[in-house]
Amino acid sequence: MSQKTVYIVGLGLIGSSLALGIRRDHPDYRILGYNRSRKSRDIALEKGFVDEATDRFALFASQADVIILAVPIEQTIDFIKELAQIPLKSTVLVTDAGSTKLAICQAADAYLKPAGINFIGGHPMAGSHKSGAIAADVNLFENAYYIFTKTAATKMDALPRLTDLLSGLHARFIEIDPQEHDRVTSQVSHFPHVLASSLMNQAGDYAFEHPFTNNFAAGGFRDMTRIAESEPGMWTSILMTNPDAVLERISEFQSRLNEIADAIRLRNSEHIWNFFDKGRQTRKEMEIHKRAGVDSFYDIYINVPDQEDVILEILELLRGISVVNIRINEENREDIAGILQITFKTREDLDRAFQVIRDHTPYQVTIT
Amino acid sequence: MSQKTVYIVGLGLIGSSLALGIRRDHPDYRILGYNRSRKSRDIALEKGFVDEATDRFALFASQADVIILAVPIEQTIDFIKELAQIPLKSTVLVTDAGSTKLAICQAADAYLKPAGINFIGGHPMAGSHKSGAIAADVNLFENAYYIFTKTAATKMDALPRLTDLLSGLHARFIEIDPQEHDRVTSQVSHFPHVLASSLMNQAGDYAFEHPFTNNFAAGGFRDMTRIAESEPGMWTSILMTNPDAVLERISEFQSRLNEIADAIRLRNSEHIWNFFDKGRQTRKEMEIHKRAGVDSFYDIYINVPDQEDVILEILELLRGISVVNIRINEENREDIAGILQITFKTREDLDRAFQVIRDHTPYQVTIT
């Protein structure tokens, strides 16, 4: 590969983590960074994520072999326009990290293609409750999907150059059409955020006249509204740049609500049963039940008392068995929540854990 | 208290766990049980949850001082009708454990009140992914709300007799109007189940034409659809017996979807931002962020590598500090999911944990 200088535009969580991932497999590359605010710039310099940093976007652009735009969607589009005006290396490759792809790819086609600039859209599907360079994590994208979207401005070498550059992320690279990206993410991410916030707003308003609403919300409600706490600015940008797909999902969903409302109105219990059963069956077949490269998860459920060090006691018994996940749901036992739930990678690990806990603790233990 | 014989009708998870809770504070009481199928009956007898068990409902009814109906809603209503026809003790107290209250309380008014039978509705708000007597758990209702709903058939002594009988559950007893119960639970539980199943069905259908739907569903989607895997029969009964409140919630929700759809159509970013921000603020103020008797949770987030025994290593460092909850979200980092998240009861415990982990591990640790 020829590129030696990478310019990362935006040193937040995503940009800084990308820098760490690039450094892992390409320690000899020069990494330059842009960030508007000083804080993340200073951290990135101090921790060595980047070799040099600026708050003037245009400053490093002409030195770069690869430019990665890791800023909010609107700003990504503005920078794409600006890049068309700046003298760049003839072999430069531009990509981005925005959560919607169509609007960004259209901007690339409109501004970069006429200038002969090589561009491919990118969406590393990861995030965190944390933000800023301070939260940078070389493992952030491990096993996550990293989607590339080709446009009319994309040259043949774009995809192989980027998958080589980003190999240290250990992500799952995949290439799809930008419009298809926006459709699929509208269904699994953008529209669900609309639903979660709508439900949260509805319950909040209902609580004014029905105060127990605040008290009786249990595990199911909590899980359904968790994403309603996401940062409003990012989700506003997403809806603003993916309006058609989201509107289509809303409208289609309204028809489904009408249908189930009709069934309730008609007291059609068979229709209602089939509605719930279909959701149950469909979910069981989804990848959310699976793990990259592994067929499925294996869960054990242990009834533990509310005592200090009880989890420690159990993990000591399981020493040497690889635990994929662990969670307690003891503060709220409504719905299908577990007690102490431990997830293993293999059936063998699960069986060993089951035996050990059954033989060495007084706690009730079950496997699903 | 005068009652000495309790008749638990239905020896599933709820009925059996109630039996254990009664035994804890009232070991001298006689507990009789009904269950249609033999399996849970045999387990309940074998493990001593009940002293005698039958598959004929009427058999033990006349011996009972308290009858607890812990069967599905429709069967609860059938048994209420049947009780009006059976000779019972004049002081008998009847209660139930159904997830909706209005239909059951109306049946009690129609059938038990004319017969002078004392009745109060009950809803222990707990459950589990497990079922049957095999899953019985004396701690199932600990800190959970246990709602009582008075009706025209309720006599003065009903509530004090039951809270005494059930003191061993360590539940939070509360009394509200049956209609208000059904309204509030429609908002925080019944309608959210409709939403979750609708979203799951929509995504399932969308995946036929857009197969990546199955792959890109991440943490937010997974949490929002978790309850779509609930048992369809129970949720059909709930919608069938709480149709008006659920229909009202659906219709009101549709107005909200129309409103946000309008804002998207008009590209009104301020409206969209306020919509997301309101959901975020509202959720932060809800009881789901709090714990019974404790002001709030205290969370720590630790970036841990995917290695064996790393959780064990951390819990060993935290030995003696009471852990309320623990969870990893490493298989899917989309959205606001954490890395290794540990929850503590007090700010002091949090601060101690933070210091210990920072000083004794190489892992990045943050507090929110």
Judged by CB atoms closer than 8 Å, whether chains meet at B229 and A283 is answered as yes
CA B331 – CA A257 distance, rounded (Å): 32
For residue B285, the tally of other CB atoms under 10 A from its CB is 12
SS3 (DSSP) at B112: helix
CA A314 – CA A320 distance, rounded (Å): 12
* Confidence (pLDDT) at B368: 61
Q: Looking at the predicted structure, is the pLDDT value of residue B279 above 80?
A: yes
Nearest by CB: A276 against B137, B197, B275: B197
* Confidence (pLDDT) at B53: 97
Nearest residue in chain B measured CA to CA from A223: B223
Q: How far is B88 from chain A (nearest CA, A)?
A: 33
Q: What is the mean pLDDT of chain A?
A: 90
Which CATH code is given to the segment(s) B181-287?
A: 1.10.3660.10
Q: Looking at the predicted structure, is the pLDDT value of residue A336 above 50?
A: no
Q: What is the mean pLDDT of chain B?
A: 90
In Å, how far are A332, B40, B49, B168, B224 from B135, measured between CA atoms? 17, 10, 12, 18, 26
Chosen CATH of A181-286 out of 1.20.1050.10, 1.10.3660.10, 3.40.50.1820, 1.10.8.640: 1.10.3660.10
Query: What confidence tens digit (pLDDT) does each residue in A256-313 have?
Result: 999 999 999 999 999 999 999 999 999 888 766 554 333 356 778 887 776 678 888 8
Nearest by CB: B222 against A220, A288, A325: A288
Domain boundaries, chain B: 5-176, 181-287, 290-367
CA A179 – CA A181 distance, rounded (Å): 5
Question: Measured between CB atoms, does B295 come within 8 Å of chain A?
Answer: no
Tokens of A54: 């600026």
Q: How far is B59 from chain A (nearest CA, A)?
A: 31
Is residue B148 within 8 A of residue B120, CB to CB? The reply is yes
Nearest by CB: B246 against A235, A264, A278: A264
CATH class, range B5-176: alpha beta
Which residue's structure tokens are 């990494």? A31
Least confident interval from A57-66, B10-19, B145-154, B285-294: B285-294
Question: Measured between CB atoms, does B189 come within 8 Å of chain A?
Answer: yes
Nearest by CB: A201 against B127, B250, B278: B278
Backbone phi, psi, residue A356, to 5°: -60, -45
Nearest residue in chain A measured CA to CA from B304: A139
Q: How far is A348 from chain B (nearest CA, A)?
A: 15
Nearest by CB: B224 against A192, A282, A286: A192
How large is the greatest C-alpha to C-alpha distance in chain B, in angstroms? 72
Which residue's structure tokens are 């899953």? B135
Question: Measured between CB atoms, does A339 come within 8 Å of chain B?
Answer: yes
For residue B49, the tally of other CB atoms under 10 A from its CB is 25
Nearest residue in chain A measured CA to CA from B237: A269
CA A189 – CA A223 distance, rounded (Å): 15
Tell me if ipTM is over 0.95: no
Q: How far is B83 from chain A (nearest CA, A)?
A: 26
Query: What confidence tens digit (pLDDT) does each residue in A84-104 have?
Result: 999 999 999 999 999 999 999
Please name the residues between 223 and 262 in chain A that touch chain B, using a CB distance below 8 Å: 223-233, 235-236, 239-240, 243, 246-247, 249-254, 256-258, 260-261
CA B68 – CA B91 distance, rounded (Å): 14
Tokens of A40: 């993340």
What stretches of B329-363 adopt beta strand conformation (E)? 340-344
Tokens of A234: 């990012």
Strands A66-69 and A145-149: unpaired
**Residue B330 pLDDT grade (very low, low, confident, very high; cuts 50, 70, 90):** very low
Question: Measured between CB atoms, does B296 come within 8 Å of chain A?
Answer: no
To the question of domain A290-367 being in CATH 3.30.70.260, the answer is: yes
Nearest CA to B140 out of B151, B131, B150 is that of B131
**Residue A219 pLDDT grade (very low, low, confident, very high; cuts 50, 70, 90):** confident
Test the B interface: residue of A281, A286, A349 with most B CBs within 10 Å: A286
Q: Looking at the predicted structure, is the pLDDT value of residue A333 above 50?
A: no
Range list of H helices, chain A: 13-25, 38-46, 58-61, 73-83, 102-107, 158-165, 178-185, 191-209, 213-216, 219-225, 232-241, 243-265, 269-284, 310-317, 347-360
SS3 (DSSP) at A302: strand
Q: Looking at the predicted structure, is the pLDDT value of residue B311 above 90?
A: no
Nearest residue in chain A measured CA to CA from B127: A334
**Residue A158 pLDDT grade (very low, low, confident, very high; cuts 50, 70, 90):** very high
In Å, how far are B112, B115, B171, B230, B284 from B85, measured between CA atoms? 9, 9, 33, 35, 51
Nearest CA to A220 out of A245, A188, A196, A244 is that of A196
Tokens of B189: 């539980």
Q: Looking at the predicted structure, is the pLDDT value of residue B291 above 90?
A: no
Residue A318 is which amino acid? L
